[in-house]
Amino acid sequence: MALFDFTAELPTPARFAARLPILASDKKVFGYKLLFRGVIDNLFPSIEGDAASRGVIDLSSLIGLSTLSANLPAFIVTTRDTLVNDYLALLPPDKVIAEIPDSVPPDPDVLRACARLKESGCRIALGNFRAGDPRAALEADADFLKIDIKTSPLADVANLARRSRGRGPQLIAEKVETRSDFDLVRNEGFTLFEGYFFRKPEMMRARGVQSNRTVYLRLLAAVSRPELDWCELEQIVESDAMLYYRLLRYLNSAVFGLTAEVKNVRQALVILGENETRRWCQLSGMFELSRNKPSDLALAALVRARFAETIASRVDCGAADMFQVGLLSLMDAILEIHMRGVLDGLPLTPPARTVLLEHSGPLAPVYDLMLAVEAGIWPRVTALASQLRIDPDFIARAQWNAMEWAASVATAA
């Protein structure tokens, strides 16, 4: 039974959106800052200000804000015109946080627009806020102050944190890229953090994998081999109660519409067939390994896997399973061990192993495209689209398809 049709026409639009996670102190994802780019072409015209803000609104209206922001609050950078013309009124106010950059003057029209936003239920964040900020008049309406820890002096960061502690807007530390950054600003009183620091392994020292996780690494290894050993798979699934339960629940769900109840693992695997068994095992292993980690890690791994697989359908990736490559690409952050430890014992193709360990080799362009789209590095996306001879419209549709698919899979998990 084929559950995933990669030959079907992908949905439009030809728009690009990336999302930057914003985390709470416990590393759970609080929301996403949305980064937008219009249709990409070789000239790569600059899209800034009002065009970018309206682009996010247009894209959000077209494909659904809940998909772009995983049903979490969405920080949308605004301009003066975006504010005074009430463009944000097109979006659900309970999911929108208007991020006002330091380029927007706090004139009377902007103050009135902010008051209207607050009345509608929308929240406000002041981006790149600093000591002596000229937008002090907007601070009374602000729910969040975003502080760039790379450009603000440490003394100013500490003073702002002390002033805000216990009252006023919540502080968001921007450009938190390392564990030491996170510890520093959290100790100063920050409660929200923007950056990808949690996607990097916390430590590179030798660290054993917890015994209950070895089952899932064995599962990933078993489905990576060219020939499946059905007896081995049955033994692995039966050795873990959660895996056993998840498989039988999946087969007995409405997705399959089976008339007879599936009662054992062997019967379940036969019904799934080889291709879907590999897919189910990969997803189940990833979900279980990512327990107690930031939800963005699992979601991002799903998006990467689907996107890489879709792009691979247009280029020659040899025998490499790009779905698996995308899924494994965040496993070092999930397990907090070096990628070599993740791949130890997994029978991957040499190109797949090389790209995961060294970010080089014949698969590197597809891998780099996956990372560039995720991070919103649009010039790099343009260059790689040209190198791979892939229509940017197809890349945009693949990205949207991956985000929508990942959201549906994560919800059902």
Question: Residue 296 in contact with residue 391, Cβ under 8 Å?
Answer: no
Residues 286 and 392 in one domain: yes
* Domain count for the chain: 2
Q: How confident is the model at residue 47 (pLDDT cuts 50, 70, 90)?
A: very low
Instruction: Answer for the pair 83, 57: CB distance below 8 angstroms, yes or no.
Output: no
Coil vs helix vs strand at 28: coil
* CATH code for position 408: 1.10.3210
Sheet strands (E) in 190-314? 192-194
299 and 184 share one domain = no
Residue 55: CATH number of its domain: 3.20.20.450
Answer yes or no: is 374 within a domain: yes
In a domain, 2, yes or no: no
Q: Which domain range does residue 42 map to?
A: 16-199
Q: Same domain for 137 and 32?
A: yes
Which residue, of 178, 199, 220, is where some domain finishes?
199
Each residue of 312-371: pLDDT tens digit? 999 988 877 898 899 889 988 887 778 888 887 677 889 999 999 999 999 999 999 999
Instruction: Answer yes or no: do 218 and 120 share one domain.
Output: no
pTM of this prediction exceeds 0.85 = no
User: How far is the CA of 181 from the CAs of 97, 108, 194, in angstroms?
Assistant: 24, 37, 11
**What average pLDDT does the chain have?**
79
**pLDDT score recorded for residue 256:** 63
Q: Which residues pair with residue 75 across a beta bridge?
A: 33, 97
In terms of domains, do 284 and 180 share one? no
| pLDDT value of residue 395 | 93
Q: How many CB atoms lie within 10 A of CB 4?
A: 12
Candidates 387, 385, 410; CA nearest to 398 is 385
Least confident stretch, 96-105, 176-185, 385-394: 176-185
Is residue 297 packed enough to be buried (19+ CB in 10 Å), middle (13-18) or exposed (0-12)?
A: buried
